[in-house]
């Protein structure tokens, strides 16, 4: 008899960027961060939640955030991105996968993310059904280079690992 295939862990990557805009809230990973500028976007422009959502969907080969929540659908206007992340997690759960880890890097000249790290881990933990200690949140500047360096906006890269449900 051939050996049974072991449960498989799979990894997805997500990337997002948003332009800074006056008069908008700055929401990252579900946390509203005090700032003189916010982020422009169709939804609440939470670049962290969007990158993590794409990473989760990518790990399960379930498409991407734009396909699941199209801009053309009025219901997605100013939508809470943590809710979108929760729905993406539900989708991959229904395909027999669950999230086991996420690693996130925010790239921005400002604001400083460090003081908000624990709050972001806590907020994402609910949507991902993980404990905060299973979510890594890192940040760096772009050393003053390019559009991020000029403070035009920020970017986020996220990796999510999912495992097959054996139950
Ligand atoms: Mg986005």
Per residue in 85-114, pLDDT tens? 999 999 999 999 999 999 999 999 999 999
Q: How far is the CA of 6 from the centre of ligand 1 (A)?
A: 35
pLDDT digits (tens, 9 = 90+) for 37-53: 999 998 899 999 999 99
State the pLDDT at residue 76: 82
Least confident of 14-18, 31-35, 72-76, 99-103: 72-76
- For ligand 1, the distance from its centroid to the CA atom of residue 46, given in whole angstroms, is 6
pLDDT for 100 equals: 97
Whole-model pTM: value is 0.95
Backbone angles phi, psi at 103, to 5 degrees: -130, 125
For residue 167, the model assigns a pLDDT of 66
> Ligand 1 mean position to 164 CA, how many Å?
27
Mean pLDDT (whole number) for 57-77: 92
Q: Residue 143 Cα, ligand 1 centroid: separation in angstroms?
A: 23
User: Three-state DSSP class for 33?
Assistant: coil
Is there a contact between 114 and 121 (Cβ–Cβ < 8 Å)?
no
Q: How far is the CA of 17 from the centre of ligand 1 (A)?
A: 6
Residue 7 has a pLDDT of 75
Instruction: Report the alpha-carbon distance of residue 121 to residue 124 in Å, rounded.
Output: 5
Average pLDDT, the chain: 95
What's residue 3's pLDDT? 76
CA–CA distances in Å: residue 129 to residues 20, 99, 143: 30, 8, 34
Task: Round to whole Å and give the CA distance between 5 and 55.
Answer: 24
CA of 89 to the centre of ligand 1 (A): 17
Select the more confidently predicted residue: 4 or 38. 38
Q: What separation, in Å, do the N-terminal and C-terminal C-alpha atoms of the chain show?
A: 23
**From ligand 1's centre to the CA of 166, what distance in Å?**
33
Question: pLDDT tens-digit profile of 111-156?
Answer: 999 999 999 999 999 999 999 999 999 999 999 999 999 999 999 9
Cα-to-centroid distance, 156 and ligand 1 (Å): 9
DSSP letter string over 78-131? T--HHHHHHHHHHHHHHTTEEEEEEEEEEE-SSS--GGGHHHHHHHHHHHHTS-
Average pLDDT over residues 79-87: 95
Q: What is the dihedral of CA 65, 8, 128, 74, to 10 degrees?
A: 20
């Amino acid at each position: 008899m051939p050996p049974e295939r072991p449960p498989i862990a799979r990894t997805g990557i997500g990337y997002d960027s948003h332009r800074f805009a006056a008069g908008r809230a700055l929401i990252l990973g579900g946390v509203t961060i005090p700032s003189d500028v916010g982020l422009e976007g169709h939804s609440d422009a939470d670049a962290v939640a969007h990158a993590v959502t794409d990473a989760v969907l990518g790990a399960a080969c379930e498409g991407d955030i734009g396909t699941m929540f199209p801009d053309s659908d009025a219901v997605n206007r100013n939508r809470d991105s943590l809710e979108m992340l929760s729905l993406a997690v539900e989708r991959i759960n229904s395909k027999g996968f669950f999230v086991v880890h996420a690693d996130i890097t925010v790239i921005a000249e400002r604001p400083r993310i460090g003081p908000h790290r624990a709050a972001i881990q806590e907020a994402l933990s609910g949507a991902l059904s993980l404990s905060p200690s299973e979510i890594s949140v890192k940040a760096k500047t772009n050393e003053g280079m390019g559009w991020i360096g000029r403070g035009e906006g920020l970017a986020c890269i996220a990796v999510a690992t999912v495992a097959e449900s054996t139950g």
